[in-house]
Amino acid sequence: MNWPTVIYNEEVMREGFGIEDVGIPLQARIDFLDALSETGLKRITLGAFVSAKFVPQMACFVELLDKFHPKPGVMYLPYIHNQKARKLAEQHAPPLTVEEDIFTVFLDICDVHQRRNVNRSIEQIMDAWPKAIQDARARGIRKARIGIGSAWGSNFMGKFSKRYRFSFLEKQIALLSDAGIAIEEIGLHDSQSWCLPHEMEEDLAEIKRRWPVVHQFQLHMHNARGMALPSIYAALRTLDKSDTLILEGTLGGIGGGQFGGNGRASGMAATEDVMHMLEGMGIDTGVDLDKIIDCVWMLEKIIGRPAYGYVAKAGPRPTKPEDFYDPNMPGIESLEAVKHFKFGSQAYAHEGSFPWTQPITGPYFKTNDIN
């Protein structure tokens, strides 16, 4: 198929734990991260150098860096939002990987969310761009990524038009182009869960038409209204093998921002569901989905409630004969019994009913015509 190259960033340590209970023990985070490192995921964002006053969930970030057990071949990334954060990250590399210094121009196009989130207006953010670009050029940077948050709409201001959305991309690109800085990546963040799949298709197609030299795209999709995975699929359908798509999601689909009004219900695309879909589409992920599911169950014990993803509850599609369900298993009701996909018949040994009187069998069970 003509799919784009997919790069996946696992964000559960930052985006997920960043809104969870501040009392999650450090050792629980370390054990979880060590297990996550064994799943085949190649990029894991661990957290951010931010004030514990405003984000107390990140208060143990540096201690985490000192105590977890890095796995060779896995990139452990910091969230870098300014030069101060970059310098701190460089002091902790390794275990952190500090990627190439590419100038970033980002703006939340919902002025309410922009102010609630960083206490600065759209105008204040844009007024700071020329100086920041000048400083980047002085450091020898000639490449940039741009992005917009709340791209499709706002819980405070309503739906945004394509004209409004693209006007900010145009401003960013014009400013950087005038400074002789090339655009390497365009990012779309659905900060307040407003995107619908057809809008994703239309916008990416329009971006590729207007700026054909850009072939790298980044999506950060919140999922308060269940549209993150369908919108990611729409992006995969719209892009092609000449493109690279950077996806960000969280194990279990947890996460969210404190200032958009949906809190933990914001969630994100669940890593286990994204990986299951990609593999089913023939896009190799390199992950061990069985280990991913183990990590989701571990996560649920840590946060004390079910996570939002689906594959860790119902199991992946059984694609090999040895994984097909037993046609004579009892009727299944509880979520614990459903874990037969991993634990076999012992999962439902103490529940279920058998309304049939004879074992279920038949000539169609052994035909090759159905596969």
The model's confidence at residue 248, banded by pLDDT at 50, 70 and 90, is very high
Comparing 126-130, 257-261, 311-315, the range with the smallest average pLDDT is 257-261
Would you identify the CATH topology of the domain 5-314? TIM Barrel (3.20.20)
Q: pLDDT band for 368, please (50, 70, 90 cuts).
A: low
Looking at residue 87, what is its pLDDT? 86
The helix or strand, by DSSP H or E, that contains position 330, with its residue range, turns out to be none
Q: Is the pLDDT of residue 369 over 70?
A: no
Residues of the chain with CATH 3.20.20.70: 5-314
pLDDT at 60: 86
Asked if the model's pLDDT at residue 140 lies above 70, the reply is yes
- How would you label 141-180 residue by residue, b for 16+ Cβ within 10 Å and e otherwise? eeebbbbbbbbbbbbbeeebeeeebbebbeebbebbeebe
For residue 120, give both structure tokens: 């600065």
**Residue 352 reports pLDDT greater than 60:** yes
Q: How confident is the model at residue 366 (pLDDT cuts 50, 70, 90)?
A: low
Token pair listed for 102? 């590419």
Question: Which among 190, 46, 198 is positioned nearest to 109, based on CA atoms?
Answer: 190
State residue 358's pLDDT score: 85
* Cα–Cα dist 186/350, whole Å: 53
Tell me the per-residue pLDDT of 201-244, one tens digit each, with 9 for 90 and over: 999 999 999 999 999 999 999 999 999 999 999 999 999 999 99
Please tell me the pTM assigned to this model.
Answer: 0.94
CA-closest candidate to residue 275, choices 35, 40, 37: 40
Query: Whole-number mean pLDDT of the chain?
Result: 93
